[in-house]
Structure 1
Amino acid sequence: MTLPFRDINVQTASDAYIFTSPSSPNAPALAIDRPTGDIRLLDASLLSGKRVSRITSIAGILGVIQLRLGELLYDGCGGFGCEELVTDYGCEDKYIIVITKAQPVGRLRGHMVYKVVSTDILPLRERQVSDPDEDRFLNLLRGFIKPGPMYFSYSVDITNSFQRQAQQDAESPLWKRADDRFFWNRFIQSDLINFRNSGGRGQPAPQPNIDPYILPVIFGMLEIHPTTFKGTPLTIALISRRSRHRAGTRYFTRGLDDQGHAANYNETEQVVILNDHTTGLGGSSWQQQQKSSSLADGVGKEMQILSYVQTRGSVPAYWAEINTLKYTPKIQIRAIEAAYPAAKAHFDEQIRIYGDNYLVNLVNQKGREVPVKEAYEKVVEMLVSRPKEHVQGDQRTDEKFHTIETAEKKSQFDRLHYIYFDFHAETKGLQMHRAQLLIDRMREALVAQQYFRASVDSTPGNNNKTDGGRLDVRSLQTSVVRTNCMDCLDRTNVVQSMLARWTLDRMFIDLGLLARGSRFADEDAAFELMFRNMWADNADVVSNAYSGTGAMKTDLTRTGKRTKAGALQDGNVAVTRYCKNNFLDGPRQDAFDLFLGVYQPSVGGGLVFVDRRPVLIQAVPYIAAFGLFFVLMGMYSPRLPDAAVWPMRLFILFWTGVTGWALWFIFNNGMLYVNWPKLNPRPWATEGYHETISRVRKDKILGPLVARHERGLSVARYINAEEGKKRIE
C-alpha cells in the first residue's frame, strides 16, 4: 500500500519547485515547472547538481490552485507582444499551497492524526505589476485557510468512518480510498490527480509514483482523548467531517443544489477504542502496541473499535433566507416539485451509504419556520410509496410528534422515516431535559440500528505496519439518524449529543463496563465531564464554520442544564451572528467558493470585487456616521458661559435629522447594504437588488440624483451575477 510521504523537502529553483522525500531517496522527485505549472516526475539522484535558491521542509502539499489566466494579466507578461508570450509559455497565475507546520492531535488505532497549523502559498510566476483582484484572491485564500480546522493522517483514512474503512481495499493509495464528500482539498489536488491518472507533457501514461505526494485533508472537528472509564483504559474520539459540496456560510447557503448536495452537511462519528496503547503523542509502533496489549486490564486483550455515526444537513428542498438587514430574514421556498429530482438524488446517496434514514426535524411548528417544516414533509411524502402520517399532541402543543412512514415497502425511498419533534415548545422555560422524549420515542429504531464494532485481526501475516492489522467486523450500523433544525447547529447538536450519549451507554453495557440499566454519567464524573466538553467543542467548531460564531445552548451540553447565564450568552451569540451574517459573510462565502472550485477565476471576468453601486448609495452610511459624530460633538463639546444656546440646539437637531434619515434609508433598503458574495452572486440577491434600486429611484431625496448618476452601473455590476446564475442553473 502506498502512503503519503511524512517528510518533504521543497527545492526552489528559477524554473521549477522540486519536491523530494529525504526518508525515501529512491522515490521519484516531483517537479512543478515555473511558470507553466507543468508536472513531471524526475529521478531524485539527478538533482544533486541543480542550482536552488533555498530548501524548505514541509509537512505536505495541500494542492495547486490557478487564480487568473495570463490574458487578464498581460502587463505582467511585458505588455507589447504579450499574446504570443501567453501562447508560448502559458503565463498563468498558479500557486502551490503547502503545509508548513502540522500539530499532532493524537492516535487512532496507532495512527497519528495531525491538525494543519500553518501554510504557505508558493507562486509559480513572479508578478511584475500589482493586480488588485489577484491580491484579493490571495487574501481570501489566506484568510480561509488560516483559521480553517483541517486535519490529515499519513497512514489512516480519516475521511471515512471505521465501518467504511473495514469495507475498503487497504492496498489502494490513501487518496483513492478517500470519501469524495469529505476530501476537502480535492479540487486543489486536481492537477496532481489528473497527472496521476493520465500523465502530462513528456509522460503521457498514468503515473502511480505521484501517489505519495497526494494528501487528503478533512475540514471539521477532531478530538482524541486517551482516558479511563471506571479504571478501564480506553480512547474516545469525536470526528465531524464537513462535506465539500454546497459548503458555505449560513444565509448564503441553504437547502439543496441541483445535484442533491445539502448545505452544512456534516458526518459525525463517535469512536471508542479499547486496548489501544499507542494513543499518546509519542506513541510506538503497531507491533509494540500488540505486545503491550497483553498487559492490559479490562475487557479482553485484543484491540476493539466501536463507532457510531450520525449526519446533519439542511432541509432537503430549494429554499433560502434573504438578508435585508432585518433580524429575521425573509424565507423563500421554490416549488417542491422543482426540488424533487435533487431530493431524490440526495436521499438515494444517503440510503446507499447509510441504509435506513431516520429524519429528525427540529424546526418550529409556528411562526416563520413553518414553511420550511411543511416543505420537508412534502418532500418525504413525494418520495415514499404510500405515506402514512401520525400526529401526536398534548397540553403543551398540538403537534409534539409528527411521523411519516410508508404503509408498505416498494422502493428504496421507503427506507426514509420522518420524525418531527417540537423541540422549542417541549423545552420552553429552560426544561431541556424534556428533549429526552425524542430519544424515548426512537428507542426501538436506535436498538435496531446497532453500531459498528470490530476487533483488530492480529494473526500472523496480518500485522503489517501499513494498516495496523485488519478489522474483524463483529457488527455493523444499519441505519443513520439525520438531524436538522434551521441552521443544523444549536438544536441539532443538543439532540446529536443525546443520541451519542444513549449509544455510548449501550456500548459500555455490551462491553460489560456498565450494568444493564445504568448510565455512564452516574458512574464516572470525570468521564462525564470530558464527554460533555467534547460535544460542546464539536458544537462550537461546526457553528463557527457555518455562522461565524460558537454554538448556542452549549451550557446544556457542557453542564447538563440550561442556565440564565447560558441564555444571556446565547443573546450575545445571536447579535454577533446578525452582524457577521449581514456585513462580513460575503467574503467568507467567496473564500469557500474559491478554495472548493465553485468559482474559478480563470473563467470569470476582471474587476469582480469592484463596488459598482451608485456613489450616492455608497455614501449614505458615511453620512450617518458623520451625522452621529456631529450630534455627539454638539452635545459634549464645552461651551463658553455666555454662548447662545439655540444655534447649537438647531445644529444638533439638524444632524439628528440627517442621521435618522440616513439610518432609515439604510434599513429600509437593506438589500443594498448587505455584504453579498461577489464571485457567485445569489440569484435572489440579483433580483432583490434590481427591485430595491428601482424603489430608490422613486425616493424624493436621492431618487433623481441616483437615476442621473447611475451610468448603467446596475447592468455592469450584475454581469458576473448572471454568469454565476447560469453556472448554478
Structure 2
Amino acid sequence: MYMQETQLKLKDSAVLITLISRRCNRRLGTRMWRRGANLEGDVANFIETEQLLEVEGFRSSLLQVRGSIPLLWEQIVDLSYKPQLRIINHEQTPNIVERHFGDVIQRYGETIAVDLTDKHGNEGQLSAAYAAEMERLQKVSRYVPFDFHHHCGNSNFDNLKIFYDQISEDFERQRYFLIDGKGNILEEQRGVIRANCIDCLDRTNVTQSYLAQKSLNQQLQRIEIFTSSECLSMFDEEYAKFRTLWAEQGDEISLEYAGTNALKGDLVRYGKQTIGGMIKDGMSALSRYYLNNFHDGIRQDALDLISGRYTVSRNNPSPFQLNGFESLSYLPVASALVIGGLTITTFTLQQAGRNAHHYLSTVLWAGVTAGVMAVVKANGRQFCSRPRLCNLL
C-alpha cells in the first residue's frame, strides 16, 4: 500500500489531499512475468487508488482502479528491447473476462473500462481481442478505447480532453463520496473508471491524475470553495503540489512492478515533456530492460515465495538445482565472446590495409562475432533470468 498527503492553500481554505493506493495480491508479480489474467479472472498490477479531500469539516473521496488487460497473454523476455506479445487462445477466455468484471462490478458498481493501448502492432492485436470480448459484456460494462500515444504522444497532455469528452457524462454521473462535518452523506460514488495500458503504469497514471483533477474541481465547487468558473489549475503553486503528489504515486507503483520510476512523469508534473524528463525516461527505460531480462525472474520467485503462492516441500527436489541450460553461467561467456570479437574485429580492420593476412583475420573475427550474436539472439530467452517456482498463470 502507498499513502502520501499534501496540504494546499486555496483562497482562504486549508485543503488536505491524501492519495492511497492499495495493490491486490491475487496476481502479484513483476512487469514481464505477471501479465494479463489467470483462469480465475484475477489480473496483474490491479490497484485501487483513492483520492481523499478534507476541507472545512467536509470529507470527500474518489476511487479509481487500474489493472492489466483481463485476457490470457504473455510477453516473455528474450533480450530484445520489446519482446513479442502473444495472446493465449483458451476456451475459458470469455469466462475469465466475465469473472473479472463481475468481481469489479460487485465491488464498485457501474464500470467504465478505459483502454489506453495503441491500436496498431502487437498492442493493437491485444486491444482488438479485448474489444471483441467486451462487446459481449456491453450490457454490464462500457468499453472506451483511446489510443494515448496517437493523441497525446509525449507532450500533448491537453489532448486528454478528447478522451474526457467521451466519458464525461458517465464519469460525472458516477460522482464521488462526500460527507459534511455532521457525518451526513451528501454524495455517493456510483461506479468506477477501470483504466489500463500495457503495463498499467505510465499512460494509466497520466490519465488517472487527469480524472482526479476533474473530480477534485467538482468536489470543491460542490463545497463552495470554488465558484463554478474556478478550478485548481488557476492556482499555480497549489496545482504544482497536486501534480507532484500524483507523479510520486506513479513512481512508487512503477518501482514495485517494473523496478524503476514511471515514464511520462513530466506529463503529470508539468503537463508537458521536458529535456530533463526525456533523459530520465531514457535511463528508466534502459534500467527496465536490464531488470526485466536479468533480474526479475529471481524477484518473481521471491514474491511467489513470500506471498504463499509457492509452498516448499521437502519431498520434491529444489527448483533451483542446476539442470540443463543455465542462463547465469552462459551469459558472461556469451557477452565476453561478443565484446572480444568486436574488439579484435575493430583492431584487425585498422590493420587490414597493410597486408592480406590482416584482411582475412578481420573477415574471420567478424564472422565469429556475427555467429555468436546470432546464437545469442536465437536463444535469447535462455539467457534471461526466469522464475522457477510457479508458472505464468
TM-score (normalised: structure 2): 0.90
Change (3 A) 1:532 1:656: same
**Cα distance in 2, alignment partners of residues 603 and 254 from structure 1:** 30
Q: CA deviation at 1:656?
A: 4.8
Q: What do residues 408-460 of structure 1 show as CA deviations (whole Å, max 9, x unaligned)?
A: xxxxxx23111111221112473221111111222211221110012355xxx
**Cα distance in 2, alignment partners of residues 320 and 329 from structure 1:** 10
Q: CA deviation at 1:242?
A: 0.7
Which structure shows the bigger proportion of residues in helix conformation?
A: 2
Does 1:513 find its partner at 2:225?
A: yes
Q: Which runs of 5+ in 2 are unaligned?
A: 348-353
C-alpha contact (below 8 Å) 1:623/1:659 kept by paired residues: no
**Cα distance in 1, alignment partners of residues 90 and 135 from structure 2:** 11
Secondary structure of the 1:307 match is: strand
Change (3 A) 1:222 1:338: same
Select the residue among 582, 593, 616 that pairs with 2:304: 593
Select the residue among 112, 118, 128 that pairs with 1:358: 112
Q: Which runs of 5+ in 1 are unaligned?
A: 1-218, 275-298, 385-413, 458-470, 637-643, 683-727
**Cα distance in 2, alignment partners of residues 600 and 651 from structure 1:** 55
1:251 counterpart residue number: 32
Which structure shows the bigger proportion of residues in strand conformation?
A: 1
Instruction: Report matched runs for 1:507-656 at 5 Å.
Output: 507-522=219-234, 524-602=235-313, 605-614=316-325, 618-619=329-330, 621-626=332-337, 628-629=339-340, 632=343, 655-656=365-366
Q: What do residues 449-491 of structure 1 show as CA deviations (whole Å, max 9, x unaligned)?
A: 110012355xxxxxxxxxxxxx542221001000001111111
Identity of aligned residues (%): 32
Q: What do residues 234-253 of structure 1 show as CA deviations (whole Å, max 9, x unaligned)?
A: 21110111111101111111
Select the residue among 658, 681, 684 that pairs with 2:368: 658
Secondary structure of the 1:601 match is: coil
Q: CA deviation at 1:348?
A: 1.3
Select the residue among 202, 206, 211 that pairs with 1:499: 211
C-alpha contact (below 8 Å) 2:325/2:382 kept by paired residues: no
1:331 counterpart residue number: 85
Q: CA deviation at 1:676?
A: 0.7
Change (3 A) 1:236 1:615: closer
**Cα distance in 2, alignment partners of residues 646 and 498 from structure 1:** 66
1:425 counterpart residue number: 150
Higher relative contact order (CA 8 A, sep 6+): 2
Q: CA deviation at 1:532?
A: 0.7
Change (3 A) 1:635 1:605: same
Does 1:261 find its partner at 2:58?
A: no
Secondary structure of the 1:482 match is: strand
Change (3 A) 1:430 1:508: same
Change (3 A) 1:658 1:536: same
C-alpha contact (below 8 Å) 2:327/2:385 kept by paired residues: no
Q: What do residues 685-719 of structure 1 show as CA deviations (whole Å, max 9, x unaligned)?
A: xxxxxxxxxxxxxxxxxxxxxxxxxxxxxxxxxxx
Q: What do residues 475-518 of structure 1 show as CA deviations (whole Å, max 9, x unaligned)?
A: 21001000001111111111100000000111111111111022
Instruction: Report matched runs for 1:186-265 at 5 Å.
Output: 219=1, 221-265=2-46
Query: 1:540 is matched by which residue type in structure 2?
Result: D
**Cα distance in 2, alignment partners of residues 602 and 456 from structure 1:** 55
Does 1:272 find its partner at 2:53?
A: yes
**Cα distance in 2, alignment partners of residues 680 and 479 from structure 1:** 35
C-alpha contact (below 8 Å) 1:549/1:577 kept by paired residues: yes
Query: 2:370 is matched by which residue type in structure 1?
Result: G
Q: CA deviation at 1:564?
A: 4.3
1:487 counterpart residue number: 199
Q: CA deviation at 1:599?
A: 0.8
Select the residue among 69, 72, 76 that pairs with 1:322: 76
1:671 counterpart residue number: 381
**Cα distance in 2, alignment partners of residues 603 and 508 from structure 1:** 59
Q: CA deviation at 1:616?
A: 11
Change (3 A) 1:582 1:236: same
1:713 counterpart residue number: none
Instruction: Report matched runs for 1:94-493 at 5 Å.
Output: 219=1, 221-274=2-55, 299=56, 303-335=57-89, 337-384=91-138, 414-428=139-153, 430-455=155-180, 457=182, 471-493=183-205
**Cα distance in 2, alignment partners of residues 671 and 430 from structure 1:** 35
Secondary structure of the 2:180 match is: strand
**Cα distance in 2, alignment partners of residues 624 and 542 from structure 1:** 33
Q: What do residues 6-43 of structure 1 show as CA deviations (whole Å, max 9, x unaligned)?
A: xxxxxxxxxxxxxxxxxxxxxxxxxxxxxxxxxxxxxx
C-alpha contact (below 8 Å) 2:154/2:273 kept by paired residues: no
C-alpha contact (below 8 Å) 1:624/1:658 kept by paired residues: no
TM-score (normalised: structure 1): 0.50
C-alpha contact (below 8 Å) 1:631/1:652 kept by paired residues: no
Q: CA deviation at 1:674?
A: 1.6
Q: CA deviation at 1:681?
A: 3.8
Change (3 A) 1:603 1:320: farther
Q: What do residues 128-158 of structure 1 show as CA deviations (whole Å, max 9, x unaligned)?
A: xxxxxxxxxxxxxxxxxxxxxxxxxxxxxxx
C-alpha contact (below 8 Å) 2:345/2:365 kept by paired residues: no
**Cα distance in 1, alignment partners of residues 64 and 311 from structure 2:** 33
Instruction: Report matched runs for 1:72-91 at 5 Å.
Output: none
Secondary structure of the 1:665 match is: helix
Change (3 A) 1:622 1:443: same
Question: Which of the pair has more CA radius of gyration?
Answer: 1
